[in-house]
A and B are shown apart, each in its own frame.
Chain A
Amino acid sequence: MPDSSVRDRRALGGPGVLLVVVYGVLALAATGRSVLQISEYFERAPLAYVLSAVAAVVYLLATWCLARGGRWVRVGIVACAVELVGVLAVGAASYALPSAFPDKTVWSHFGQGYGFVPLVLPVLGLLWFRRVERAAAAEETAARGAGVGDGAAPSGG
């Protein structure tokens, strides 16, 4: 019985693998762009470029969490939530203060430069992580129910 692998909260598998690739490509694009923005012409728009670098790091982290699953699921949920807040906040700010965002970053104008993928992706990521969590919780309950001679009732966390 591959019991441990059953209980392992696998984020990869099924649609998750597609998310990993889309996240990976976006992480790559965001990292590349932010590295050159900061190294080549940082003084043009420091705020926008720092936010762009933050976005790149968060995308890399989310990609890692999606690929690893297990205990990284929780971290991945936080990363996706940060992305969603980031794309909404920076998206709104780039319309309100266009001078602070002179050229496109991943999050400016709600990710328009990337076909609005950055706006949709965190939502898909959160939905996927929630599904993984639920599947894991259901498996845990089933495993506990099948356990022999459980004295104390397991306390929920």
Chain B
Amino acid sequence: MCGVIAALTYVVVAVSVTLCLAAVWYAVRDRLIDDRLLAVAALLELGVVVLLVAGLLGLGRIGDATERATFVAYLVSLPVIPVGTALLAIKEKSRWAMGSMAVGAFAVGVMTARLLQIWMAYA
């Protein structure tokens, strides 16, 4: 379980960086959301949901109660972001929506990196 969560967080960070860069690229080129970008967002969502399940299963490993609570807060918050920004981007057809997808993906990356940081302290 230990290695699985670490590996998953690396994958999620990689996908979020990809989505962030792609969304910035779309914003610069003034392109709207399309199936390809939506697929990357869906992949990111899948990643954070799997991470949520795996994280909850491996929760017992984190000894400190405060750190454990922070870990859960991040785990639960993460899946909201890709869905929320993708829905906004579908509704709002402008380059600003691509900018917001980039910001959302960046937030997912930062939060997942924090998750990994907490996890590695106890793994």
Tell me the bound Cα distance from A25 to B79 in angstroms.
11
Q: Are B65 and A15 in contact (CB under 8 A)?
A: no
The SS class assigned to the B binding surface is helix
Instruction: Decide if A22 touches B74 in the complex (CB within 8 Å).
Output: no
How far, in whole Å, are A29 and B96 apart by their CA atoms in the complex? Answer: 22
A143 at the binding interface (Cβ < 8 Å): no
Contact with A along B49-70 (1 / 0, CB 8 A): 0000000000000000110011
Interface: A138 (CB within 8 A): no
A32 and B76 contact, CB distance less than 8 A: yes
Residue tally, chain A, CB below 8 Å to B: 21
Q: Does A62 contact B (CB under 8 A)?
A: no
Interface segment among B5-13, B36-44, B98-106: the answer is: B98-106
CB distance from A62 to the nearest CB of B (A): 15
B22 contacts the other chain (CB 8 A):
no
Also in contact, A21 and B103, with CB within 8 A (given A14-B94, A36-B69, A40-B69): yes
Taking CB atoms and an 8 Å cut-off, the chain A residues in 18-39 that contact chain B are 18, 20-22, 24-25, 28-29, 32-33, 35-36, 39
- Excluding A21-B100, A21-B103, A33-B73, 8 further A-B contacts by CB distance (< 8 Å) are A13-B92, A13-B94, A18-B96, A20-B88, A28-B81, A36-B73, A39-B69, A41-B66
- B interface vs A, CB < 8 Å? 65-66, 69-70, 72-74, 76-77, 80-81, 84-85, 88, 92, 94, 96-97, 99-101, 103-104, 107
The 10 closest A-B pairs by CB, nearest first: A32-B73, A36-B69, A21-B100, A28-B77, A25-B107, A17-B92, A18-B100, A17-B96, A40-B69, A18-B99
